[in-house]
Amino acid sequence: MENLVIIERIFSSYRKPIYDLINKSIDSKLLYGTNNSGIKTANASYAQQIYSLQYGNKDTNILLFPLKKILKLKPKVIFCDLAIGMLNLPVIICVCKLFKIKIAFWSHGYNRKTGFNPDKRWIDKYRLFLMKLVDANIVYSQFDKDVILPYLKKDSVYVAQNTLNTNSLSKISKELELEGKMNVKQRLGIKHEFNIVFIGRMLASKKPEMLLDLYEYLLLNFNISVGIHFIGEGEMLTKIRARVDNNFNKKDFYFHGAIHDDLATGQILFVNDLMINPGYLGLSVNHAFCFGCPVLSFQSKDGYPAHSPEVEYVIHNKTGFLLENHTLEAMAKKVNDYLKNKSIQEEFHQNLKYAVENTFPIEKMLRGLMECYDFLTLNKN
């Protein structure tokens, strides 16, 4: 008998550290399916793949079939992914209720692009219907909790702030600090004084090509030559490479490709002055902060960029910049001001260290999950 079973659409590698911590805290089993997201996956002794069926083009359109395993394992509690495309979720919930297994959703809680309006949108009505059926809901941020709490019981919503393995990343960062930024730059063959990085899948919705416009603007208007780094692959990579080849000095651009090694990614982030993602922000915020790299993006307007919960960690003028004006000029001015002010850079560096140690350490995420688990196991109703 397992104390906890976690049901997820995919066993993503970036999630493994938190699953490891959960498994060390209590007996647990991860049941997961497969999909076509392209996200790097992992495996572990406590994890088992179950039959799943993908339909349509969206990653969230998937049917998971965990019931046989649930009935065999007989867990006290289940944490389950909430995706509207998982059409058999009501069946899973009903089986849990029938066999007196507590179940909580672990999810965003709503679509961050469109917001949450169950009074007017049928899809939000259905999402709320499901959230009311389960015994508790776990979301990724306090903001998410504030959005859904008016519709749910106050003691049934928990926050497990989304993060990465901050312990492992911080250890690498400290080793790089001992080596020194100039030495790391020299080892990597990076000769630019100022460097800016984009990290993530190079999709049109993330606007990575805007870094080319920024490079040109800084050079023409502020006489600053920066090294532009791209970590990732995707549909925009070929177009960006072609534009660099035809229009710019290729020595000013670094195409690192998709990197799944923490040290390799970390040392690139470590030598960069800013991470800029003009599109939506996600866990790349945590990743950059762990290596002392502030983040710049735009404030969300009319649903764009549809930032993930990690945008909460970007505090304007403290740990990064969220620009109200969605223009190249506004971005370039802020970058120029930051690169020329050493005292502000040092202040940011201290703020980033505080955020990693106090705002989103992985232990804090575990604590939120365990609070929900304790609530469910102690609550006999």
Q: What is the CATH number of the domain that holds 340?
A: 3.40.50.2000
Q: What is the DSSP string of 205-238?
A: GG-TTHHHHHHHHHHHHH---EEEEEE--STTHH
What pLDDT score does 302 carry?
Answer: 85
What pLDDT score does 49 carry?
Answer: 95
Look at the pTM and tell me if it is higher than 0.85: yes
Cα–Cα–Cα angle for 86, 32, 147, rounded to 5 degrees: 50
Tens of pLDDT, residue by residue over 259-308, are 989 999 999 999 999 999 999 999 999 999 999 999 999 999 888 899 99
What pLDDT score does 210 carry?
Answer: 97
Same domain for 74 and 132, yes or no, is: yes
Which runs of E-coded beta strand occur in the chain?
Answer: 4-8, 28-32, 47-49, 52-54, 62-64, 77-80, 102-106, 136-139, 157-159, 194-199, 226-231, 253-257, 274-276, 295-298, 320-323
What pLDDT score does 380 carry?
Answer: 62
CA torsion 142-148-150-152 (nearest 10°) is -110
Tens of pLDDT, residue by residue over 298-315, are 999 888 899 999 999 999
Q: Which residues of the chain have pLDDT under 50?
A: none
Same domain for 139 and 276, yes or no, is: no
| Per-state percent for the chain, helix, strand, coil, to nearest 5 | 45, 20, 35
Same domain for 232 and 153, yes or no, is: no
What pLDDT score does 1 carry?
Answer: 55
Same domain for 47 and 154, yes or no, is: yes
Same domain for 178 and 91, yes or no, is: no
The DSSP letter of residue 47 is E
Across the beta sheet with 47-49, the strand order is 47-49, 28-32, 4-8, 77-80, 102-106, 136-139, 157-159
Same domain for 105 and 60, yes or no, is: yes
Same domain for 203 and 282, yes or no, is: yes
Same domain for 338 and 229, yes or no, is: yes
Helix (H, G, I), strand (E, B) or coil at 245: helix
The answer to whether 127 and 330 have CB atoms below 8 angstroms apart is: no
Helix (H, G, I), strand (E, B) or coil at 381: coil
Same domain for 154 and 218, yes or no, is: no
Same domain for 186 and 41, yes or no, is: no
Q: What is the DSSP string of 146-206?
A: HHHGGGS-GGGEEE------HHHHHHHHHHHHHH-HHHHHHHHT---SEEEEEES---GGG
Task: Find the domain containing 142 and state its range.
Answer: 4-163+361-378
Query: Which strand (E) or helix (H) includes residue 336?
Result: helix 328-339
Q: Work out how many domains the chain is built from and give that number.
A: 2
Same domain for 348 and 367, yes or no, is: no
Helix (H, G, I), strand (E, B) or coil at 376: helix
Distance CA 136, CA 155 (A): 8
Same domain for 34 and 55, yes or no, is: yes
